[in-house]
Chains A and B, each alone.
Chain A
Amino acid sequence: MVLLIQYTIIFASVLMLVALGGCFSEHSGIINLGLEGIMVIGALGGALIMNLLPAGTNGFVMVVVTALAAVGFGILYSCLLGVAAIQFKADQTLIGTAMNMLATAAATVFVSAFNAAKNPDNTSSTLQYISQKNAFIVRIGGFEFNWFMLLAVILLGISWFILYKTRFGLRLMACGENPQAADSVGINVKRMRWSGVLISGALGGLGGIVYILAGVSEWKFEVGVAGFGFLALAVMIFGQWKPTKIALAALLFGFFRALSNVYTGFPFLANLGIPSTIYNMMPYIISLVILAFTSKNSKAPKAEGIPYDKGMR
């Protein structure tokens, strides 16, 4: 039971962070299908820093520097989306797909080269952070937490506040709903869309490092992040592009993901004989069914996916 809650919270915080990232991007009008790739690159950044920092580094420094590295890598990588989709009006679905492919390939190439540089016999794409990982863990009673979960909750609050209570949020959402209207009142649509994309890069990158710190102490970059970026997309849609609902959706999806990992620990679940793949499938099936019933009046930002052309008034 403890394990189930623990995993649920871990997965939920990952999904929530990444889905919030997607939420910012889509509210600005850019569909970010490349979240999966951004997570991989964010995870790469964080893992590299952990790997490079000496084992005795102060825990607080370790956490902050790792988080910053993941965020930085995520932001840099999201520029690929910004340049193509905002500056050159490229097809956002195509670019997102390319970014996902590129991220796994680039991370694998990079880590292999990195490993080989340290030890010519080691050409694997695995990075280890066994001892470094302890800096992130907080134990309260039997529960094992990680600092990033606290960060995720704080970021949820901040996201909500930014979107609904600040000038920036109002302008961002105007750009995703009706960029012509935003432009007509002097808002720089390009700049707002860049902000949305870069924020999604930051949160996506952070989500990546949180994901690979969950329960394991090394990561093989060949496997990417196993579809968590796409699951986060589902969380975002399920959460109707609203931070509070996204948090709830993340908990639900995280729960199913956790079940598939630990269901054998529950005698009655194990006895049901349902294979773990069913639990893995559940979040996707649920979102598909929900989508089928709610998409007629979808709350998606109206102008998302459409490149903004100043000439079209």
Chain B
Amino acid sequence: MDAPYAIEMLNITKRFPGIIANDNVTIQLKKGEIHALLGENGAGKSTLMSVLFGLYQAEEGIIKKDGVEVKINDPNDANDLGIGMVHQHFKLVQCFTVLQNIILGVETTKNGVLQMDEARKKVIALSEKYGLYVDPDAVIEDITVGMQQRTEILKMLYRDNEILIFDEPTAVLTPQEIAELMQIMKNLAREGKSILFISHKLNEIMEVADRVSVLRKGKYIGTVNVKDVNEAELSRMMVGRDVQLVVEKEPAKPGNVVLDIQNMTVASKVHKNNAVKNVSLQVRSGEIVCIAGIDGNGQSEFVYGLSGLEPLVSGKITLCGKDITKSSIRSRSELMSHIPEDRHKHGLVLDYSLEYNMILQLYFEPEFTTKAGFLKRKEIREYADRLIDEYDVRSGQGAITTTRAMSGGNQQKAIIGRELDRPHELLLAVQPTRGLDVGAIEGVHRNLIKERDAGKAVLLVSLELEEVLNVSDRILVMYEGEIVGELDPKQTTPEELGLYMAGAKRSTPKGDKA
């Protein structure tokens, strides 16, 4: 018998208290095809994969392998069925070698003693067959992210997995590495492997996938052949309406220079090179300047350098005419509000109540602390209640709710409220819409524009093309730690922006002022 489908997930429904994560979803993966799974954050992609790997049990629906119904109770069952996955966050032991990581769990042994030579031969053969070149004896922490991903792919091939799942595999890669990965995926499919490719990047899906299934808010929208659709159609399936390309706003009226950065260089924590190289830029009052780029091109380090979380290697930062290059975080924050990239790591003390988080940047002010150093409870409560009301922060018990118990969107609203309400001249907003739903994103964008119109300088760091094009007045593209171009959002196209972001185009020579 020869069933056409390698794996089928039929009419899967998975509920969590208060939410239906997967509502009657069907995915059928043909043998030897690359099948994309498209959806926004929170569309239910991860839940569906967790069901496939037996981490969750679906309430309804069945899974079939080669046309036969199977039960998957834990990841081992999935593994036995030949299903493998490259996770977004790699599951690698940093201090082990590539080879050790590949064989971990399926070691060849003689009386419990490892037989590394046989394993090495098999790995080398596999890497030659699929063009996955990587040194088997290199230690993981010494090799690039792209090489680490190859190790993950080899892990699946070493286990003779037939069904390969890639979870957002390009988020961490450089453009060259992305191109290589696309080639590898095509090679794998040609050799008969079936690939499920989870992504929200339309261009990648268009390039590599044969068919694409779309999820939206837990619901199955449909499956189409990639060659029958264009990006705009896919995009509409994904978000459920025509993407509103223009956020309504008046033209910017830039005023004085608020932030002036000269030749900023910041070291990297991950590798030996500098993560930010000789960056110069200015932000004026009344304008939104956006730093665009693919994740990992030095944006985080740039933000750390500007906010004072990391020292500069060299360069000069002037804020409102004051040299703050060597100033403390505290004295910078008197003029600068900062919506951080990672709200759990930097933005909130999750075990503090909401009201205590609302005063995180102001607790030392006389408004909230007596001369003797005691906190003013009543004033804190009143202040928090006002912000909660103004920014529509919803929580179980109001001001005394532990922030850990709040939803991500409301946590973000709390941070935005806190940072916008306190006195500042510059707003530094780093991926302020990360992980938020569409409605919440619009709210954030409105707030940014309101800030601008109130005469503040806004520096937005974003990875989302759409956000970059819609919200900003000026775009600076960062690539490998350098500003490679300045674009006018009204003049440019997504394609042009993409070329800059991928490093294929640059308009500023090194060290030039943007």
Direct interface between A and B, CB < 8 A: yes
Query: In the complex the two chains form, is A302's CB within 8 Å of B100's CB?
Result: no
Cβ 8 A contact of B93, one of A165, A168, A178: A178
Knowing A170-B100, A186-B75, A186-B79, say if A181 contacts B92 (CB, 8 Å): yes
Closest Cβ of chain B to A122, distance in Å, is 49
Query: In the complex the two chains form, is A166's CB within 8 Å of B75's CB?
Result: no
15 pairs, A vs B, C-beta closer than 8 Å: A165-B113, A166-B112, A167-B109, A171-B105, A173-B93, A178-B92, A178-B93, A181-B90, A181-B91, A181-B104, A182-B93, A184-B75, A185-B91, A187-B104, A187-B105
**Chain A minimum-CB-distance residue to B76:** A186
Q: How far is the CA of A173 from the CA of B109 in the complex (A)?
A: 17
**Chain A minimum-CB-distance residue to B53:** A184
Interface residues of B (CB under 8 A from A): 55, 75-76, 79, 87, 90-96, 100-101, 103-107, 109, 112-114, 155
Query: In the complex the two chains form, is B94's CB within 8 Å of A177's CB?
Result: yes
Q: How far is the CA of A96 from the CA of B100 in the complex (A)?
A: 32
- Interface of B (DSSP majority class): loop
Chain A 158-189 interface residues, beta-carbon cutoff 8 Å to B: 165-168, 170-171, 173-174, 177-178, 180-187
Q: Mark A278-313, 1 if CB is under 8 A from B, else 0.
A: 000000000000000000000100100000000001
Query: In the complex the two chains form, is A174's CB within 8 Å of B104's CB?
Result: yes
Chain B residue numbers with a CB within 8 Å of A171 are 104-105
Interface residues of A (CB under 8 A from B): 165-168, 170-171, 173-174, 177-178, 180-187, 299, 302, 313
Top 8 A-B pairs, shortest CB-CB distance:
A185-B105, A181-B91, A184-B91, A167-B107, A177-B93, A186-B76, A167-B109, A178-B93
**Chain B minimum-CB-distance residue to A178:** B93
Q: How far is the CA of A245 from the CA of B302 in the complex (A)?
A: 41
| Given A173-B93, A184-B75, 11 more pairs with CB closer than 8 A | A165-B114, A167-B109, A167-B114, A173-B95, A174-B104, A177-B93, A177-B94, A181-B90, A183-B75, A185-B155, A302-B95
**Chain A minimum-CB-distance residue to B101:** A181
Q: How far is the CA of A181 from the CA of B103 in the complex (A)?
A: 12
Query: In the complex the two chains form, is A181's CB within 8 Å of B93's CB?
Result: yes
Closest Cβ of chain A to B236, distance in Å, is 32
Query: In the complex the two chains form, is B106's CB within 8 Å of A170's CB?
Result: no
Chain A residue numbers with a CB within 8 Å of B75 are 183-184, 186
**Chain B minimum-CB-distance residue to A183:** B75
Cβ 8 A contact of B113, one of A166, A180, A181, A299: A166
**Chain B minimum-CB-distance residue to A301:** B95
Closest Cβ of chain A to B87, distance in Å, is 7
Chain A residue numbers with a CB within 8 Å of B106 are 185
Chain A residue numbers with a CB within 8 Å of B55 are 313
Query: In the complex the two chains form, is A166's CB within 8 Å of B114's CB?
Result: yes
Query: In the complex the two chains form, is A185's CB within 8 Å of B104's CB?
Result: yes
